[in-house]
Amino acid sequence: MKKKIIIQKFGGTSLQDDKTRLKSARFVKQKFDSGFIPVVVVSAMGREGAPYATDTLLKLAKEIEPEINPREKDLLMSCGEIISAVVFVQTLQKLGLKAIALTGAQAGIITDGNFGSARIRKVMTDNLLQIILQETIPVVTGFQGMNENGEITTFGRGGSDTTASVLAVALQAEEIEIYTDVEGILSADPKNIKKTSTIKIASYEEAVELAEKGAKVIHPRAVEIAASENIPIKILSTFTGINGTIIKNIKSDRPITGITSKENIIFFRIEPTIIDSRTAGLNIFQLLAENSISADFIDIRPESISFIIDEENRQNALQILEKNNFLYMIKEGLVKVSAVGSGMTGVPGIMAKIVSALTSQEIEILECTDSRTTISCLIKSEEKIKAIKALHDIFEL
């Protein structure tokens, strides 16, 4: 009987020490013993400060010279996952399993040449399939691949999640398991409010929106890739093994599923003084796009053009505005708070509830935007926790 393939991705906290690695390895053995062939994807071990964490390796190089060439930076950033893969293979072998460590390149992941934020072009599965046929478990380095010139490239934030989903699609896996340090996607960040609940089932659309609006359990691109082939994703806690959240193709009837927040938001308003300058002002969005800066909360009026960006793009945006002689004002210290739920479409009163919840706490709504599954409000940073609690309470999450 043909064995089914399952992708198991383990984050840095799931691999940070001998104890957690052994716990993680037992989840792999459990699947193998139940008739699956696991394909494992690993992140670098631990977080900043841990000896082999990616941020630790970067700090080592930056202490010598702050600027790192993009090619060398990707080469360095790939090392943490390679160490993690080899050490995890040793752990699996200790449990009596046959396993082999593979870089993204050895696993057949071919990318474009954009160092630091490479896009995957194709996956050549021949090597992986040969390994699987021998009932050997491939342990693949997440977050990386190889361009057509043989250079190592990395995918940017959430890259290991992306690796897991891309391999799942290429190998026609039954499902993806994401092992992390939390029990699934929560109705709000527990750092902000004490009483949260686990979202047991989420649609692909809800998971993408929650991730894009601030939930950090899984990367939105990974969800989109899995959704393209209708591959379910399970998010589990490495420490308890509890099935936290299942992401799959469902039609939700919940108006609101969760509340998220995104900090360090910068607000810009361009104020054209004449018609011609307004036309020129609209060109700002093309200029931002050319510099890979994503704008949100876009509001175009006769008297002004406004938008928000993430704080990490602040300096680049300012340079663009100055270089092109835009007349503008800037506002900082802001947070985007979002209510997400794929069941809100066509349901009256959702916006009214949000406005009521925030104004009852005397929270000023600076801007507001909505889509089919999300309503987001821009507020002052110091009112974030109060706002999240108010929204969490009013929707009884």
pTM (predicted TM-score): 0.87
Helical segments of the chain, H only: 18-33, 54-62, 70-77, 79-94, 126-133, 159-170, 204-212, 220-228, 275-282, 284-290, 314-323, 350-360, 384-394
Q: Tell me what percent of the residues of the chain surpass a pLDDT of 90.
A: 65
Q: Give the tokens for residue 1.
A: 């009987």
3-state percent helix, strand, coil for the chain, nearest multiple of 5: 35, 25, 35
67 CB neighbour count, 10 Å cutoff: 7
Kindly provide the residue ranges of all beta strands, DSSP E only, lying in 181-249, ordered along the sequence.
201-203, 233-237, 243-248
3-state secondary structure of 376: strand
- From the centroid of its chain, how far is CA 154? 15
- Alpha-carbon distance of 130 to 136, in angstroms, equals 9
Q: Using CA of residue 236, residue 242, residue 248, residue 254, what is the dihedral sign?
A: negative
Q: Using CA of residue 322, residue 326, residue 328, residue 333, what is the dihedral sign?
A: negative
Q: Is pLDDT of 66 > 60? A: yes
**pLDDT tens digit string along 117-159?**
899 999 999 999 999 999 999 999 999 999 999 999 999 878 8
Q: Is pLDDT of 33 > 90? A: yes
**Cβ–Cβ under 8 Å, residues 100 and 106:** no
Token pair 């379910």 is found at 232
Closest CA to 142 of 104, 106, 89, 180: 104
- Alpha-carbon distance of 124 to 85, in angstroms, equals 20
Cα angle, residue 370 at apex, residues 266 and 280 outer, rounded to 5°: 55
Q: Give the tokens for residue 135.
A: 């009932």
User: Are β-strands 374-380 and 328-340 bridged in parallel, bridged antiparallel, or unpaired?
Assistant: antiparallel
Q: Is pLDDT of 1 > 60? A: no
Cα angle, residue 278 at apex, residues 273 and 280 outer, rounded to 5°: 120
The predicted model gives 163-174 an average pLDDT of: 96
Domains of the chain, each with CATH number or no CATH = 4-181 (3.40.1160.10), 258-394 (3.30.2130.10)
- From the centroid of its chain, how far is CA 349? 30
Closest CA to 333 of 265, 383, 386: 265
Report CA-CA distances (Å) from 319 to 176, 268, 272, 312, 324.
42, 13, 18, 13, 8
Q: Report the range out of 47-61, 101-115, 228-242, 258-272 with the highest average pLDDT.
A: 101-115
pLDDT of residue 234: 95
- Alpha-carbon distance of 106 to 125, in angstroms, equals 10
**pLDDT tens digit string along 45-57?**
877 777 888 888 8
Q: How is residue 13 annotated by DSSP? A: G
Q: Give the tokens for residue 78.
A: 């790939």
**pLDDT tens digit string along 246-285?**
999 888 778 899 999 999 999 999 876 654 555 656 788 8
Beta bridge partners, 7, equal 39, 176
